Structure 1
C-alpha cells in the first residue's frame, strides 16, 4: 500500500532565485526568479532564441546553470540534478528526445514502458511474474494515454500509425503520454503551442490544466501564455533596468544584479504570476546549443 501511494502523481514545487545559464557565446538566460506551488501551470513564454528551452532543461536537471539557484521538490539545482531528473519528465524536445518517425505509436509506448520498468522500477517489481509485469505495463500505458487525451482509435491505423503520419497535436499528445508513463511530479513540455491553430492551442492548454488538476506540476514553453498560468517571459537583447517605481505589480523587469532573496518586490511578482527575464545581447541559438553540449542531455 505504501508503494502505491508513493507512485501516485503529486506535484513538485519549483523555486528559482537569480537563476542563470551562460554558454561560451554569452548568457542564454539569467535573472530568473519565481516560485511555483505544487500542481501549478508555469508557462515560459517569449520569442524563439531567447533561452526558453534551455531554461526548461535547466529546471528539470538536464542543463547546469552557473548563476543563482533553484529547487525542484526541495531538491537544489545543480547539486541534486540527478534526483530532479528522476522526479521530472520531458515531452518532446528537438535535439534531445525527439520521437522516431519510423516507429509506430504503439511501439513508442511499449518501448517507454519497458525502459521505465528496466531503469526506474524497484527490485521488488522486477521479481514479479512476467504476466504481472506485462499487465502493470499495459495499465501504465492506458493511464498515460488517457491522461494525455490521445485517442488511439481515432488515428489512421490505430496504434500501428507511424509517428511520421501524426498531426502536430497528436504527436504532442503522444510525447506527453510517453512522459506520463513514469508518473512524474514535474512535466516539462517544449513548444506547447507551435504550429497550432487557435482551437488546437486551446485543446493543449486544457490538457495541461487537467494534468495540474491531477497534481502534476507542468512547465510549458510557448509563444504566448494563457492568462491563468504563472508566466515566465524571456526577452532578447540587453537585460532591462529595473523601473524606479514599480507601477505594475504584475510585471518585474530583471536588473543586471540579482535581488536579495525575500525582497518584497520579488514576492509580489511571484504572487501576481508573471516574471520577465533578460538575456544578454550576445545570447544566440548557437550559444544555447554549446551550453547544452557542455552540460549534457541526459
Structure 2
C-alpha cells in the first residue's frame, strides 16, 4: 500500500499524542523481523500486540518507542515523525517492561528505585527526594494496584486454575524498605510499570506480559494497567495515557476488562496480530 508522509500527517491530529504507522517494516541479517504493518492508536487507547515467540513483538514495541530503527514505513507520534525525531519520541514513550532493558536491581529497595527515578526526572541541582514524597508515590502504587487486584480476586471460583495464586500479596511497606529480591513477579511488574509512569508520559510500552506465569497474575496486571489509565484520565483529562502491550494470548485482558466494566474504560482497544510467517493486520474492538 502506498503512503506518503504528507498523507499520514493529514490523518494525525497534532494536538493529540495519537500513534499511526503505515507500511512499518524491519529487516535484519536473518530476514524480516516484521513487515508492512498499518496501525493507528488514538490517544488514551490501549493496543494489544499479539503473536508467538519470534514474531517481532519486542522489536515492534521498541521501534514505536524510538529505540529501534525500522527499515521502511512511516510513523508519527502526534506531530513527531518517529523515524526522524527518535530522540524526541524516546522522551515521550516510557518503557514499562522489556527484559534486559528495565530489569530491577535485586539489592535495591523499592524506595531506592523510586528515589533514583525521581532524581533523574528532577533538575540537576536537586539530587534528593524527600521521605514524604517517596511515601506519597509508594502509596499511590499500592492504592492503584490493590484496587485493581480486588476486582480480579472477586472472580467466581473456577475462573482460574487451582494452581493460580488465590490472592495478590501487596505487602510493600509504606516506606518501601522491602528489597526487590523479596517481591513477587507481579509486584516487580507493577513496580516497573509505576516507575515508567512517574514522568507522566503520554505513552507506555510493555513487552511480553506472559512472563507472569500465573493466569490470575496476568489478569491482575491487565487490571492494574486499566485502573491506572482511568486514574490518569480522571486526574489529568488533558494528558491521558496510551498503553501498548505485547502478549501471546490476551484472554486475561478480557477477564480484567469484564471485571472492571465502567470502572476503567480506555478510549479504544486496538488489536494487532503478528504471525511469524504471515502479513500482520490490525482491527479495532471499539
Please give the TM-score of this superposition, normalised by the length of structure 2.
Answer: 0.70
Aligned to 1:75: 80
Structure 2, unpaired ranges of 5+: 1-14, 148-168, 234-239, 258-268
Cα offset, 1:155, TM superposition: 3.2
CA distance in 2, matches of 1:55, 1:100: 26
Paired residues for 1:222-233 under 5 Å: 222-225=247-250, 226=253, 229-233=269-273
Cα offset, 1:145, TM superposition: 2.2
C-alpha contact 1:44 1:52 (8 A) present in aligned 2: yes
Number of aligned residue pairs: 228
C-alpha contact 1:44 1:231 (8 A) present in aligned 2: yes
Name whichever of 204-213 and 168-177 sits farther off. 204-213
Q: Secondary structure in 2 aligned to 1:177? A: helix
Q: Secondary structure in 2 aligned to 1:235? A: coil
Change (3 A) 1:96 1:15: same
Deviations 1:187-220 (A, max 9, x none): 1111223233222222111111223332200011
Change (3 A) 1:147 1:49: farther
Cα offset, 1:15, TM superposition: 0.6
The yes-or-no answer on 1:181 pairing with 2:177 is no
Alignment RMSD: 3.0
Paired residues for 1:173-252 under 5 Å: 173-213=190-230, 214=233, 215-225=240-250, 226=253, 229-237=269-277, 239-240=278-279
Aligned to 2:166: none
Structure 1, unpaired ranges of 5+: 1-9, 120-125, 241-252, 255-268, 274-298
CA distance in 1, matches of 2:64, 2:175: 35
C-alpha contact 2:271 2:285 (8 A) present in aligned 1: no
CA distance in 1, matches of 2:140, 2:93: 15
Cα offset, 1:182, TM superposition: 0.9
Q: Secondary structure in 2 aligned to 1:48? A: coil
Cα offset, 1:137, TM superposition: 5.0
C-alpha contact 2:202 2:241 (8 A) present in aligned 1: yes
Select the structure with the greater relative contact order (CA < 8 A; seq sep ≥ 6). 1
Cα offset, 1:150, TM superposition: 6.8
Aligned to 1:66: 71
CA distance in 1, matches of 2:210, 2:16: 23
Cα offset, 1:74, TM superposition: 2.2
Aligned to 1:46: 51
CA distance in 2, matches of 1:94, 1:58: 15
Aligned to 2:145: 149
Aligned to 1:16: 21
Please give the TM-score of this superposition, normalised by the length of structure 1.
Answer: 0.67
CA distance in 1, matches of 2:16, 2:136: 18
